Structure 1
């Protein structure tokens, strides 16, 4: 009986840790996001300031190994293809420490990007210095930024849509709705949604996804 109770507690904890219910530490909607300089899979360093003609950015914290991230890869590619030409390119960032999660190192990132045909930068958060500033807790976790002069204003934080694992069940496209609103000069109807995914891995949080 004790073993069954322990397993039930672990199951509830596992489910609970896949969810982020609201904004925590890090940026809030309306904050100005500071620029960063991170290495891309092509070896070049990438900053938001490199995109002088962009109207904003779809920043996605994602990785190679999380099932939720993998389930959203095609959707992330589709977002970049649709909105890059409209001024909102995708900037993907892998926040995981490869020492804590095998398969999230730069070499593996290059392989995955080639396999999937990523059309966007796939950056490595070396030293895990960027994701804490944003307050990202999951992969995937999306932040939409709107350029206002030299400032990047946070306009949306959360999930890509309302079906984390099954694209066929999507009925509400949070990121598309938010970017469409911004392109019309309006504020998104929803500025926060629940990010669903795997916890970002550090040496203190080693884990195997199941």
Structure 2
């Protein structure tokens, strides 16, 4: 009888542990395509707090986790500007977020963000994930890392996750514009294919 009780207790412990690890893994992996994304409130380079709910006329958002210092992110800045220029008026504005810890990467401080936004003439919000709470929710691991969101009623559905295009450094060699094609598909009422690609860039500095 004693052995049976011990066995039951051990089984329960294993079940609880498995559930706990499953919950942690789910959180750490962030969003998958089809998930509902939550809104956020983050400080923009102009000093104002920005939320996705501020854009009541938007059909969705091109959320890009990026930064000032990563060579991959810097190589994609003009492409991010082009995405905003191409799709903002069609209802899909760019929302850029810097997820890096400036104590680890001083060049990604808020002041440096403001300077970079001025230098490049950013036409989109450039937000600071100061408490590093938003990028883990999304599951972003690189800069740049894109999450395309589509409004459906009161929900924001994740429709694409991954890279901007198929050339991490040289814009001249791009043959597939993953994000642009995904937005065009949504505007046409078609499924996004591919809906996942591999984000290639610098690791987020926590």
Give the secondary-structure state (helix, strand or coil) at the position aligned to 1:188.
coil
Higher relative contact order (CA 8 A, sep 6+): 1
Instruction: After TM superposition, give the deviation of residue 141 of structure 1 in Å.
Output: 0.1
**In the alignment, structure 1 residue 41 sits paired with structure 2 residue 45:** yes
TM-superposed deviation, 1:199? 0.1
Q: Could you tell me how far apart the structure 2 residues matched to 1:150 and 1:124 are?
A: 25
Counting only pairs closer than 5 Å after superposition, residues 1-210 of structure 1 correspond to structure 2 as: 25-202=29-206
> What's the CA shift for 1:198?
0.1
| Displacement after TM superposition at 1:182 (Å) | 0.1
CA distance in 2, matches of 1:58, 1:79: 8
CA distance in 2, matches of 1:43, 1:150: 27
User: 2 CA distance for matches of 1:33 and 1:108?
Assistant: 28
Residues 107-166 of structure 1 show CA distances to partners (whole Å, capped at 9, x for unaligned) of 000000000000000000011000000000000000000000111000000000000000
Matched residue of 1:103: which SS? helix
The CA distance in 2 between the partners of 1:108 and 1:101, in whole Å, is: 11
Match of 1:115, SS state, is helix
1:187 Cα deviation from its structure 2 partner: 1.3
Gaps of 5+ in 2: 1-27
Shift of 1:102: 1.3
Aligned residues: 179
- Give 1 or 2 for the bigger CA radius of gyration: 2
Separation (CA, whole Å) in 1 of partners of 2:55 and 2:188: 20
Q: What SS class does the counterpart of residue 184 from structure 2 fall into? A: helix
Q: CA RMSD in A?
A: 0.7
SS state of the match for residue 59, structure 1?
strand
Provide the C-alpha distance between the structure 1 equivalents of 2:137 and 2:101, rounded to a whole number of angstroms. Answer: 16
